[in-house]
């Protein structure tokens, strides 16, 4: 079968109540963007049980069609049956591209789907484009293929192509596409798929399942992150300070920013600070807050590094933040290499000043 026979851009969407999760709406918008470029359909792919309202909402949010399976045995997410159903759908309907959200569920599911479909998977993309690509080893120019744009080694972006295989599979990082506005007047095609369960797929048993409260520390969902490093243990003159002071100041600053601008804030920390397990910060600075190589990778609108020297391991976790502010009294701290705004001063002077400015004083 020739590559040209593969049509439409699919987005695997996860249901939330009667609609879809926000990252799912984002990848639907990404599918819309690519579909419009190649003059094909954007298709939402949904698995679950009791999906009547959900599929309508997918159309209202920009899908031209919904391919779905609505079965009691698909009510809860399970990697193996979900993999099989998605592969059967894709083998039958032959999409040009297949997008997933680059979150934990997407990372559990999409690699298996890609391997079984014998195609590539470009993960963590921040944008998509459609391009021609010349591939030397086969001496062929592949027309109108997906350029999957992903960050590469912290300071670069790379374009990944899947020229010889279909569907072209990509996972998209949350926060890079704006969901399309809901338009209830939109009409689209609903294609219900009726899969048969295969016993072997249910050899993993769900013993318990719970949905966590949203109140947990959500670094990835924050608009602004203020992160603390070992520098908070001393002031600019080198006198020891209670790091709790910095934590409190930063909490107050984030609260003011939330009130003034409606921005969601969160406190981050370096690995060094977390693993020094200071009594003063017990229960406040926990590993859930770790930004960096072995912790979270974040890309908020604003990232403020307080008392952080800027080890490579930390930098790779925050380098993609849109605006970076660094506060450090060490003028040569490597963190300043990344900073859009450099405050080379004592954090115990800067933070109170910031607080009072934000409070309107």
Within 243-272, which residues bind another protein (CB under 8 A)?
Answer: 257, 259-263
Residue closer to another protein, measured from CB, 118 or 185? 118
State in angstroms the smallest separation of the CB of 189 from another protein: 29
Q: Binding of another protein at residue 315 (CB under 8 A)?
A: yes
Per-residue x/- track, 198-237, another protein (CB under 8 A): --xx-xxxxxxxxxxxx-----------------------
Q: Kindly tell me which residue out of 38, 230, 233, 342 binds another protein, with binding defined by CB under 8 A.
A: 342
Q: Binding of another protein at residue 119 (CB under 8 A)?
A: yes
Tokens 């060490």 sit on residue: 330
Q: Which of residues 28-87 bind another protein (CB under 8 A)?
A: 77, 79-80, 83
Q: How far apart are CA 180 and CA 71, in angstroms?
A: 28
How many residues appear in the chain?
361
Question: Residue 211 class from Cβ within 10 Å (0-12 exposed, 13-18 middle, 19+ buried)?
Answer: exposed
Cβ atoms within 10 Å, residue 226:
28
User: N- to C-terminal Cα distance for the chain?
Assistant: 69
Q: Binding of another protein at residue 129 (CB under 8 A)?
A: no
The answer to whether 141 and 95 have CB atoms below 8 angstroms apart is no
Q: Kindly tell me which residue out of 118, 139, 185, 196 binds another protein, with binding defined by CB under 8 A.
A: 118
Residue of 342, 239, 227 lying closest to 273 (CA atoms): 227
State in angstroms the smallest separation of the CB of 191 from another protein: 26
Cβ atoms within 10 Å, residue 154:
15
Residue closer to another protein, measured from CB, 242 or 356? 356
The site for another protein, by CB under 8 A, has a size of 90
Q: Which of residues 284-313 bind another protein (CB under 8 A)?
A: 287, 293-295, 297, 302, 312
String of DSSP letters for 294-309 = TSB----SEEEEES--
Q: Kindly tell me which residue out of 3, 38, 105, 233 binds another protein, with binding defined by CB under 8 A.
A: 105
């Amino acid at each position: 079968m020739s590559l040209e026979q593969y049509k439409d851009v699919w987005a695997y969407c996860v249901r939330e109540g009667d609609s879809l999760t926000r990252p799912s709406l984002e990848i639907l918008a990404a599918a819309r963007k690519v579909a419009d470029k190649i003059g094909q359909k954007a298709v939402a792919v949904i698995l679950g049980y009791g999906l009547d309202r959900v599929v309508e909402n997918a159309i209202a949010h920009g899908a031209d069609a919904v391919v779905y399976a609505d079965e009691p045995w698909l009510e809860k997410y399970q990697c193996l049956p979900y993999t099989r159903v998605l592969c059967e759908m894709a083998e039958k309907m032959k999409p040009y591209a297949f997008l997933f959200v680059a979150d934990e569920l997407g990372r559990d599911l999409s690699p298996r789907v890609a391997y079984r479909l014998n195609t590539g998977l470009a993960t963590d993309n921040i944008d998509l484009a459609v391009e021609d690509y010349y591939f030397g080893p086969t001496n062929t120019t592949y027309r109108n293929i997906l350029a999957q744009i992903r960050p590469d080694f912290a300071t670069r972006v790379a374009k990944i192509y899947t020229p010889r295989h279909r569907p072209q599979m990509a996972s998209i990082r949350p926060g890079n596409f704006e969901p399309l506005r809901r338009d209830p007047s939109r009409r689209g095609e609903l294609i219900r798929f009726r899969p048969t369960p295969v016993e072997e797929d249910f050899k993993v048993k769900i013993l318990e399942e719970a949905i966590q409260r949203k109140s947990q520390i959500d670094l990835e969902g924050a608009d602004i992150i203020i992160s603390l490093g070992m520098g908070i243990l001393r002031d600019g003159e080198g006198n020891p300070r209670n790091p709790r002071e910095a934590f409190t100041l930063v909490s107050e600053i984030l609260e003011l920013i939330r009130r003034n601008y409606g921005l969601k804030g969160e406190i981050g920390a370096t690995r060094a600070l977390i693993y020094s397990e200071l009594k003063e910060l017990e229960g406040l600075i926990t590993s859930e807050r770790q930004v960096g190589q072995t912790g979270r990778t974040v890309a908020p609108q604003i990232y403020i590094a307080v008392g952080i020297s800027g080890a490579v391991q930390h930098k790779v976790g925050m380098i993609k933040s849109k605006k970076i502010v660094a506060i450090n009294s060490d003028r040569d701290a490597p963190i300043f290499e990344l900073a859009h705004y450099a405050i080379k001063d004592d954090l115990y002077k800067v933070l109170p000043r910031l607080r009072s400015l934000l409070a309107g004083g």
